[in-house]
């Protein structure tokens, strides 16, 4: 260092070069093929929204102008994160749920965790499932009898019907003489829409009823309930929270409208648009809405959610004491005779 306290020019240049190298490592430059794939992905995403959005007018947006202003930014993007941010920002202007870009690394197979019995660490909950172009996830199902005698059923996603539906049927049959059933769908983000109709059929004994309907540009599809040969007629409590979305809201909102279930907890997510997922040329996924949805009473759940009949919010204090206030409220309602 010189007497004046400044670095010699050669050391200063080395420091600048080192900083640039670190920046390059943190933000790797896109390869020519990646740039080509990103442009193709942008065009496919843009066309899909244009052609599949439930509203042909796209809520009044000038979608072509948005295309023309966004494409140059995609061409100039220097990283995958930047590309995804641009795409996410573009679809955010639709102001609707079920529009999202899924990074390609989400599609990597989940690690198979091996746990030694002596390790003292629990194995991952549930089993791995993959449906269509959804990333792989873990699915679990739980049923048990609560202290007051009511049946309790919970599962975390509407997926893998070949596994979930037989388990659900066995649980309902096992609770045939229970004073009530608590269906815990807190944190359940949804999944396969037709499973809502199948599950509703365990609690509805009249044919011809429906949970609601969805409308695409070409047709109206009704969520018709087909009653099971044996249905459960006792009180049904459904638990929801802000993580309850999509198919969960269709099931809960529909049964609430039919006055077949009482809803406990907090307002659901308000993300109730039937959707599909495609893979983009750059490896990412793109989820997009393909229809609008209204409940049986004509309620628009998108942006509004399902409002609980009995609002209950779990507290940290209750959790620390081993109490689930939402389940307890549902149990109290069942003990009082339900409806």
> Do 202 and 67 share a domain, yes or no?
no
Quick one: average pLDDT of 222-243? 96
Q: Is residue 1 part of a domain?
A: no
Structural domain boundaries enclosing 55: 27-95
pLDDT for the residue 59: 86
Which CATH number fits the domain that encloses residue 43?
3.30.750
pLDDT for the residue 171: 98
Identify the domain boundary among 72, 95, 118.
95
Q: Partners of 214 in the beta sheet? A: 221, 293
pTM (2 decimals)? Answer: 0.80
Query: Is 148 exposed, middle or buried, given 0-12, 13-18 or 19+ CB atoms closer than 10 A?
Result: middle
> Do 37 and 141 share a domain, yes or no?
no
Q: Is residue 22 part of a domain?
A: no
Tokens of 7: 């670095």
Angle between helices 63-76 and 32-52 (to 10 degrees): 170
> Do 215 and 150 share a domain, yes or no?
yes
Q: Is residue 175 part of a domain?
A: yes
Question: How many structural domains are present in the chain?
Answer: 2
> Do 79 and 136 share a domain, yes or no?
no
69-106: b (≥16 Cβ within 10 Å) or e: ebeeebeebeebebbbebbeebbeebebbbbbbbebee
User: Considering all CA atoms of the chain, what is the largest pairwise distance in Å, rounded to the nearest integer?
Assistant: 93
Sequential DSSP letters for 210-255: EEEEEE-SS-EEEEE----SS---S-EEEEE-TT--THHHHHHHHH
Q: Is residue 39 part of a domain?
A: yes
pLDDT tens digits, one per residue of 233-287 = 999 999 999 999 999 999 999 999 999 999 999 999 999 888 899 999 999 999 9
pLDDT tens digits, one per residue of 30-79 = 999 999 999 999 999 999 999 999 999 998 999 999 999 999 999 999 99
Tokens of 170: 């066995």
Q: Residue 193 in contact with residue 274, Cβ under 8 Å?
A: yes
pLDDT for the residue 185: 98
Helix intervals (H) in the chain:
9-26, 32-52, 63-76, 80-92, 161-174, 194-200, 247-257, 316-320, 325-335
Q: Is residue 118 part of a domain?
A: no
pLDDT for the residue 339: 74
Find, among 21, 19, 92, 16, the residue nearest to 61 by Cα: 92
pLDDT band at 23 (very low <50, low <70, confident <90, very high): very low
Q: Is residue 91 part of a domain?
A: yes
> Is residue 24 pLDDT above 80, yes or no?
no
Q: Is residue 240 part of a domain?
A: yes
> Do 148 and 212 share a domain, yes or no?
yes
> Do 66 and 148 share a domain, yes or no?
no
Find, among 148, 240, 130, the residue nearest to 191 by Cα: 130
pLDDT tens digits, one per residue of 190-210 = 999 999 999 999 999 999 999
> Do 142 and 83 share a domain, yes or no?
no
Q: Give the residue, 300 or 9, on which the prediction is more confident.
A: 300
pLDDT for the residue 337: 86
Angle between helices 80-92 and 32-52 (to 10 degrees): 10
- Across 10-14, 128-132, 180-184, the highest mean pLDDT is recorded for 180-184
> Do 67 and 205 share a domain, yes or no?
no
> Do 179 and 300 share a domain, yes or no?
yes
> Do 52 and 140 share a domain, yes or no?
no
Which CATH number fits the domain that encloses residue 265?
3.90.226.10
pLDDT for the residue 254: 95
> Is residue 323 pLDDT above 90, yes or no?
yes
> Do 83 and 138 share a domain, yes or no?
no
Q: Is residue 249 part of a domain?
A: yes
pLDDT for the residue 120: 53
pLDDT tens digits, one per residue of 147-159 = 999 999 999 999 9
> Do 261 and 153 share a domain, yes or no?
yes
pLDDT band at 13 (very low <50, low <70, confident <90, very high): low
Share of the chain above pLDDT 90, in %: 72
């Amino acid at each position: 260092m010189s007497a004046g306290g400044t670095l010699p020019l050669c050391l200063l240049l080395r420091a600048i070069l080192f900083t640039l190298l670190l920046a390059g490592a943190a933000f790797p430059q896109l390869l020519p093929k990646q740039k080509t794939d990103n442009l193709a992905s942008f065009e496919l995403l843009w066309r899909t929204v244009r052609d599949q959005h439930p509203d042909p007018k796209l809520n009044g947006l000038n979608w072509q102008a948005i295309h023309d202003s966004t494409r140059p930014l995609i061409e100039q993007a220097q990283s995958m994160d930047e590309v995804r941010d641009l795409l996410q920002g573009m679809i955010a202007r639709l102001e609707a749920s079920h529009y999202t870009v899924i990074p390609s690394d989400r599609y990597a197979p989940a690690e198979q965790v091996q746990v030694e019995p002596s390790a003292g660490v629990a194995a991952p909950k549930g089993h791995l499932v993959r449906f269509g172009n959804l990333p792989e996830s873990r699915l679990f199902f739980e049923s048990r009898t609560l202290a007051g005698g009511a049946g309790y059923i919970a599962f975390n996603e509407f997926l893998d019907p070949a596994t979930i539906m037989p388990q659900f049927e066995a649980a309902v049959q096992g609770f045939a003489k229970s004073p009530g059933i608590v269906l815990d769908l807190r944190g359940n983000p949804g999944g396969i829409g037709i499973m809502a109709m199948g599950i509703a059929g365990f609690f509805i004994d009249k044919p011809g009823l429906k949970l609601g309907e969805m409308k695409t540009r070409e047709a109206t599809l009704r969520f018709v309930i087909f009653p099971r040969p044996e249905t459960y007629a006792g009180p049904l409590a459904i638990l929801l929270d802000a993580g309850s979305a999509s198919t969960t809201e269709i099931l809960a909102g529909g049964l609430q409208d039919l006055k077949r279930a009482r809803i406990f907890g907090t307002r659901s997510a308000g993300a109730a648009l039937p959707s599909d997922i495609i893979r983009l040329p750059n490896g990412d996924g793109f989820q997009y809405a393909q229809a609008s949805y209204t409940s049986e009473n004509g309620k628009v759940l998108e942006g509004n959610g399902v409002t609980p009949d009995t609002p209950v919010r779990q507290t940290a204090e209750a959790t620390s004491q081993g109490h689930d206030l939402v389940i307890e409220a549902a149990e109290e309602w069942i003990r009082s005779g339900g409806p």
